[in-house]
Amino acid sequence: MGERQISQAVIRRLPRYYRYLGELLENGVERISSNELSKRMKVTASQIRQDLNNFGGFGQQGYGYNVKYLHSEIGKILGIDKSNHMVIIGAGNLGHALANYSAFEKRGFVLDGMFDVNPELVGMEVRGIPVQMIDELEPFLESHQIDIGVLTIPKSAVVEIANILVKHGVKAIWNFAHTDLNLPDDVIVENVHLSESLMRLSYNIARYKEEHNK
């Protein structure tokens, strides 16, 4: 489908299309025009047409988009019709929150293991997955094919753990630690820097208060 030339900007928008189309599906909507979708998503209809044309365009003039078909095609492009196996390193509250996240399995993400340094957590189970001690990580990676390592650990520990994961062939890191990782170029890193999100919020509040003389 020639999706190799798709810009990162379009790729960043695809999950949002997928989410909206999923909501439409849940509400029993079978087809939608780019104008209607535009109103809901608050992006221009021409942007929508342009983005979806990257994938050969699923729309028909005067008919609109077939919601189910478009949802499933974008899902394929996003790779969520395939299974990805993952481990979570860090079984604190955030690790638990992610492990309990029900959308994971719906989107092909299979949690195979959870690891922590805290011996008090050993024996605990999250959705049937036992928390193991961190020194069991390397033997585990040797006997399991893991695609994604999810890091919900302090930044002081993150470099060592990321290197262990990469050494054992893990090709993608979902990083929640407040630091950037320096990993080989072929390792895929998706950062979720909550502190930066919070600072953007703080910036906008400060501007708001300034403008309203509060």
Under rule CB under 8 A, residue 84 binds its own copies: yes
In the bound complex, what is the minimum distance in angstroms from residue 33's beta carbon to its own copies?
19
Asked if residue 80 binds its own copies (CB under 8 A), the reply is: yes
User: Which C-beta is closer to its own copies: that of 57 or that of 169?
Assistant: 169
Q: Is 104:112 a contact under the CB 8 Å cutoff?
A: no
Cα separation, 156 vs 177, in Å, equals: 9
Are the C-beta atoms of residues 123 and 131 closer than 8 Å to each other? Answer: yes
**Residue 105 engages its own copies in binding (rule: CB under 8 A):** no
CB of 135 to its own copies, least distance (A): 24
- Shorter beta-carbon distance to its own copies: residue 12 or 143: 12
CA angle 38, 41, 44 (to 5 degrees): 40
Distance CA 10, CA 129 (A): 36
Structure tokens at 48: 């929508």
37 backbone φψ class: left, alpha, beta (φ>0; ψ -120 to 50): alpha
| Residue of 76, 37, 28 whose CA lies nearest to 59 | 37
Stretch that binds its own copies, among 27-35, 53-61, 159-167, 206-214 (CB under 8 A): 206-214
Q: Does 23 bind its own copies (CB under 8 A)?
A: yes
Residue 200 in contact with its own copies, rule: CB under 8 A: yes
With beta carbons less than 8 A apart as the criterion, state whether 19 and 80 touch.
Answer: no
Tell me if 172 contacts its own copies by CB under 8 A.
Answer: yes
Residues in contact with its own copies by the rule CB under 8 A:
4, 11-12, 14-16, 18-19, 23, 42, 77-80, 82, 84, 92-94, 96-98, 100-101, 103-104, 107-109, 147-148, 171-172, 174, 178-180, 186, 188, 190, 192-209
